[in-house]
Amino acid sequence: ETGVTQSPTHLIKTRGQQVTLRCSSQSGHNTVSWYQQALGQGPQFIFQYYREEENGRGNFPPRFSGLQFPNYSSELNVNALELDDSALYLCASSSGTYTEAFFGQGTRLTVV
């Protein structure tokens, strides 16, 4: 059984650029959620995908978008990057809503 893996681990982008982050969910998990974690804060929910459909969204603007693929892997896309988008982006997979979430190691995004 493989865990949740995210790529890349680190990324530096310029303000205004676009970025795509990737996540492979744990085997057998059909639900993937994305979180943004600023330094010194807890993770903040961006959105959740269940069986390729967006299943819930947090308080993030539309320039944050996502996809889930038939194999349940997922992408997070952020357009028009702003300096405040600098954070650790976490992907979590689970086998349902009322179970524990398994997190990847995160992607550290720095916007300069």
Partner 1 sequence: SQKIEQNSEALNIQEGKTATLTCNYTNYSPAYLQWYRQDPGRGPVFLLLIRENEKEKRKERLKVTFDTTLKQSLFHITASQPADSATYLCALLNQAGTALIFGKGTTLSVSS
Q: Residues in the site for partner 1, rule: CB under 8 A? A: 4, 33, 35, 40-45, 48, 55-56, 58, 88, 90, 92, 97-106, 108
Burial class (CB in 10 A: 0-12, 13-18, 19+), 73: middle
How far apart (Å, rounded) are the C-alpha atoms in residues 43 and 11?
19
Closer to partner 1 at the Cβ: 16 or 28? 28
Q: Closer CB to partner 1, residue 32 or residue 78?
A: 32
* Least CB distance to partner 1 at residue 75 (A): 17
Residue 51 CB, shortest distance to partner 1, in Å, is: 13
Q: Give whichever of 30 and 80 is closer to partner 1, judged by the CB atom.
A: 30
With beta carbons less than 8 A apart as the criterion, state whether 21 and 89 touch.
yes
State in angstroms the smallest separation of the CB of 104 from partner 1.
5
Measured distance CA(40)–CA(5) in Å, rounded: 23
Query: What are the residue ranges of helices labelled H in the chain?
Result: none
Are 23 and 5 contacting, i.e. CB atoms less than 8 angstroms apart?
yes
Q: How far is the CB of 13 from partner 1 (least distance, A)?
A: 19
